[in-house]
């Protein structure tokens, strides 16, 4: 198995939505598929390159996927371990998000951000969040069980800390799971729970807990429908 390559770029290639380079290493040219942003980085430089490689072996041959950093390659391997997530989907996720951003989106259940990646639908995003949340939280040194207030999510929401704590406690008492609560609160903060086509929505007042609760329950009931 090839796990690492160092060499000169001798060519770039594209086949449909896939792209990469031919890397010359010791007289051999290796065809390596890259995320577009990584390919752009290589095109801007003119020196020897180091790529961490994941090799996929199939009956019709081998495919090489390259990453400038080992951490990206390791996250790629974790992603393709999820049922329904193949190499192209995993690469699309790493194309859409930086590693830290992708881990945060999975740990926090931010399906909206995950679904921005090509080929990632709602069910796949949910599967990623459910199956990898704890594993990636441990990898990043965070605690997947801590509250929305404790882990800093409140910084991106338009709600007071006291209101957020009360809202989270109430939804937990109603039987909703942590991932569902996180998704609902993010949806309300983004206006997804109360807007219409003709009238864009805004998040409730930062200290109006009742309004946040009603909007969260409305969103959760829509999701369950």
Q: What is the pLDDT of residue 90?
A: 96
Q: What is the pLDDT of residue 158?
A: 66
146 occurs within a structural domain: no
Same domain, 89 and 60: no
Q: Say which range, 39-43, 76-80, 126-130, has the weakest mean pLDDT.
A: 39-43
147 occurs within a structural domain: no
Highest mean pLDDT out of 69-83, 107-121, 136-150 = 69-83
Mean of per-residue pLDDT scores for the chain: 82
CB-CB contact of 66 with 34 (8 Å): yes
Nearest 5°: the CA angle 58, 59, 60 is 90
Same domain, 12 and 62: yes
11 occurs within a structural domain: yes
Q: How far is CA 106 from CA 3, 19, 45, 195, in A?
A: 26, 26, 32, 26
Q: How many CB atoms neighbour CB 116 within 10 A?
A: 16
* Backbone phi and psi for residue 31, each to the nearest 5 degrees, phi listed first: -85, 115
Same domain, 132 and 179: no
* Interstrand relation of 18-25 and 4-15 (parallel, antiparallel or unpaired): antiparallel
Task: Return d(Cα 212, Cα 192) in angstroms, integer.
Answer: 12
Q: What is the pLDDT of residue 146?
A: 47
The tally of domains found in the chain comes to 3
Q: How far is CA 9 from CA 17, 30, 34, 77, 218, in A?
A: 20, 10, 13, 24, 54
Same domain, 126 and 91: yes
Q: Which of 67, 83, 102 is the last residue of a domain?
A: 67
User: What's the CATH code of the domain at 127?
Assistant: 1.10.150.20
| Model confidence, pTM | 0.68
Please compute the mean of the pLDDT values over residues 113-124 and round it to a whole number: 92
Same domain, 74 and 60: no
pLDDT confidence tier of residue 206, bands split at 50, 70 and 90: confident
Same domain, 163 and 208: yes
Same domain, 121 and 165: no
Q: Which of 35, 52, 67 is the last residue of a domain?
A: 67
180 occurs within a structural domain: yes
Same domain, 98 and 136: yes
Q: Which of 22, 47, 67 is the last residue of a domain?
A: 67
CB-CB contact of 182 with 104 (8 Å): no
**Full residue range of the structural domain in which residue 90 is found:** 70-140
Task: Return d(Cα 144, Cα 133) in angstroms, integer.
Answer: 7
Q: Which two tokens stand for residue 46?
A: 């003119």
Same domain, 62 and 95: no
User: What's the CATH code of the domain at 10?
Assistant: 2.40.50.140
Q: What share of the chain is helix, strand, coil (3-state, %, to 5)?
A: 45, 20, 35
Q: Which two tokens stand for residue 51?
A: 């790529």
197 occurs within a structural domain: yes
CB-CB contact of 193 with 216 (8 Å): yes
148 occurs within a structural domain: no
The pLDDT of residue 225 is above 70: no
Per-residue DSSP letter, 153: G
Task: Return d(Cα 70, Cα 105) in angstroms, integer.
Answer: 20
Same domain, 157 and 219: yes
Task: Return d(Cα 176, Cα 216) in angstroms, integer.
Answer: 11
* Backbone phi and psi for residue 2, each to the nearest 5 degrees, phi listed first: -90, 125
Same domain, 74 and 112: yes
Q: What is the pLDDT of residues 163-177, one digit of tens each?
A: 788 888 888 888 887
Please compute the mean of the pLDDT values over residues 5-30 and round it to a whole number: 92
Total length of the chain: 225
For residue 11, how far is the Cα from the chain centroid? 30
């Amino acid at each position: 198995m090839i796990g690492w390559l160092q060499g000169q770029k001798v060519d770039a290639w594209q086949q449909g939505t896939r792209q990469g380079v031919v890397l010359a290493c010791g007289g051999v040219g290796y065809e390596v598929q890259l995320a577009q942003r990584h390919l752009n980085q290589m095109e801007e430089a003119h020196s020897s390159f180091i790529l961490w490689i994941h090799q996929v072996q199939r009956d019709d041959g081998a495919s090489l996927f390259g990453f400038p950093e080992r951490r990206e390659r390791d996250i790629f391997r974790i992603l393709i371990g999820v049922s329904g997530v193949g190499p192209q989907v995993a690469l699309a996720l790493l194309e859409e998000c930086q590693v830290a951003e992708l881990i945060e989106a999975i740990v926090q259940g931010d399906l909206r951000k995950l679904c921005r990646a090509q080929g990632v639908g709602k069910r796949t995003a949910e599967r990623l969040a459910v199956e990898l949340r704890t594993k990636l939280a441990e990898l990043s040194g965070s605690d997947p069980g801590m509250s929305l207030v404790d882990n800093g999510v409140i910084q991106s929401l338009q709600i007071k800390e006291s209101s957020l704590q009360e809202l989270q406690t109430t939804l937990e008492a109603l039987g909703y799971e942590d991932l569902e609560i996180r998704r609902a609160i993010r949806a309300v903060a983004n206006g997804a729970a109360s807007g219409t086509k003709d009238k864009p929505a805004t998040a409730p007042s930062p200290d109006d807990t009742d309004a946040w609760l009603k909007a969260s329950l409305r969103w959760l009931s829509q999701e369950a429908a």
